[in-house]
Amino acid sequence: MDLEKEFELKDPKYRSATLTNGLGRSGQRALLYATGMDEEDLKKPFVAVIGSFSEMVPGHTHLRDLAERVCQGVLEAGGVPRRSETIAICDGLCQGHKGMCYPLASRDLIADSIEMVVEAHHFDAMVLLPGCDKIIPGMIMAAARLDIPAVIVPGGPMLPGNVGGNPLFCSSELREYPGRVETGAVTVEEMKAAERAALPTVGSCAHLGTANSMCMLTEVLGLSLPGAGTAPAVSNERKRIAKASGRAVMDLLRKGITPRQILTRETMLNGVAGAMATGSSTNLVLHLMAIAHEAGVELTLADFDRISRRVPFLCNLQPSGKYPIVSLDAAGGIPAVLKTIERELCTTSMTVTGKPLGELLKDVVPVPGDVLRTLEKPQKSEGGIAILSGSLAPEGAVVKQSGVKESMYHFTGKARVFDSMEEADAAVSAGSIGKGTVIVIRYEGPKGGPGMREMLSTTALIMGRGMDEDVALVTDGRFSGATHGPCVGHISPEAAAGGPIAFVRDGDEIEIDITNRRLEWKVSPQELERRREGWEPLRKPRKPALAKYAAMVTSASTGAVIDVEKLK
């Protein structure tokens, strides 16, 4: 008797055959039987269905239901789904305090955790279910890293609230209420009522913040099925997409299509173009560069700037515009956006449907309107994000120009310097920031924060007080997708790395010129050298997880990725 042949339960080409095949795998088979599998199951491919369920995060509370539907699709297509979860941190809950040090750092932890479970258990394919902000790029990074057949099923946007008779109310506006209360424009009772009504369902916050920017990006990159980027979290369509994704991943497995065949440089540039057309969050710059890094694809800030000048801002979405994400879904969603900018895209890029992008767009007919404009009559002639550089940011900086009033495209002011977001918040709330000020918040970068906190509490106070044409803000930290106004982030090198921002002093003149993509600090090279003498970076308290992150993270200009070369 050929004992090895006797225990060859599945085709050795499957990764999971390592667990099921061979005389010596008796213990592994017994463990699989203990989970409820039978011998027929052991003959089939194993598909990891990895969610990010959390009772704390509204964008994730419904993901178990979606995972069940994914499993149904996998079973129907002849696979064995096995579920597990990774962590999910809500950026919204972290705003304005030290908790915001953790979300960006969690991106790499999420990718690592998926690598560990998928590699340790030799899964053949995987379906990943993220909902918000850093969870989505973390999961895409894992897909690129592992390069086994994979489909992303994002949780989708929530419905907008109805506040004060406005049925299109989003939480991005709610963030400005504290500033309005401080100035008397809104009462305490009105703010409390708005808090209860602003977020009426599960899903990622209804505006085009980072969460929905990334949901939409999964579809632009071809990693999720059509409609997955914008279908409401509570819709039947979202459930059907989840089930279809289970079937789709099995088809990818049969065809041998893996993420790196999809995530080419051309696809990454499609992602940039989609971000420019929609007016996506500036965080997308960090995340798309990190995804490219994992896929082994070159992507630089220069690519973003070049495409920003070619692809106009088309989508009238909050916080830069009027409508929530569900309005874009009703107007045709991401397929309609991509069809509108089709001439700027690589249409031969492969997708998880097994078809190239151009074939998916073949029959799409956009219906132009107030939500989705045309190339001839865009919201703005350039893309939603601009890359600035200059003496204050030699390696670059990022601004969501779609959310900046044209009167502030060029602004020169005197610096008011703060070494933390909390210090800046206190100054704005105290009314001590005068017109013509450039607020400088430093030591909030990837290393210095650590974790590159979002400055949403500061920007929301500025906007809520109606100061968006009086002051500007620059930082080596980053901004929430809910941010709009004259706010420049990702300044690189950061203060903790000895970048010029570390040496700015109160009263220094700073010039922001979005049109010409410049960010200049009016201090001579000689004065800078004098200020550098004897300098030591400010070191903020950090627990072990953040200490490890700070030791290995790279600059925002390269996506704030982990430098694994330091580990060799």
What does the DSSP 8-state code read for residue 184?
Answer: T
480 is catalytic: yes
d(CA 537, CA 197): 44
- In 3D space, the residue among 364, 365, 370 whose CA is nearest the CA of residue 328 turns out to be 370
Closest among 420, 446, 445, 477 to 549, alpha carbons compared: 446
DSSP 440: E
Q: How far is CA 518 from CA 81, 312, 430, in A?
A: 51, 20, 31
Q: Is the dihedral of CA 258, 264, 269, 272 positive or negative?
A: positive
What b/e sequence results for 264-282 when a residue is b if at least 16 CB atoms lie within 10 Å of its CB, and e otherwise? Answer: bbebbbbbbbbbbbbbbbb
| Cα 462 to Cα 501: distance, rounded to the nearest angstrom | 21
Report whether the peptide linkage leading into residue 81 is cis, meaning its omega lies within 30 degrees of zero.
Answer: no
Both tokens assigned to 364: 């799409």
Distant-in-sequence, close-in-space partners of 236: CB < 8 Å, separation ≥ 6: none
- Say how far apart CA 429 and CA 272 lie, in whole Å: 36
31, containing H or E segment = helix 26-34
Q: What is the DSSP letter of 113?
A: H
3-state SS class at 69: helix
* Chain mean position to CA 37: 37
Tell me, what DSSP letter sits at residue 392? T
Q: Any idea how long the chain is?
A: 568
Question: Of 480, 492, 555, 557, which is the active-site residue?
Answer: 480
Cis peptide before 486 (omega within 30 of 0): no
Name, in order, each residue with C-beta under 8 angstroms of 247's C-beta and a sequence gap of 6 or more: 73, 74, 76, 77
Q: Which residues contact 109 (CB under 8 A, 6 or more apart)?
A: 87, 138, 545
**Nearest of 508, 411, 494 to residue 450 by alpha carbon:** 494
H or E element, residue 547: helix 544-552
**Rounded Cα distance, 159 and 96, in Å:** 25
Parallel, antiparallel or unpaired: strands 386-390 and 472-475: unpaired
Q: Which residues are catalytic?
A: 480
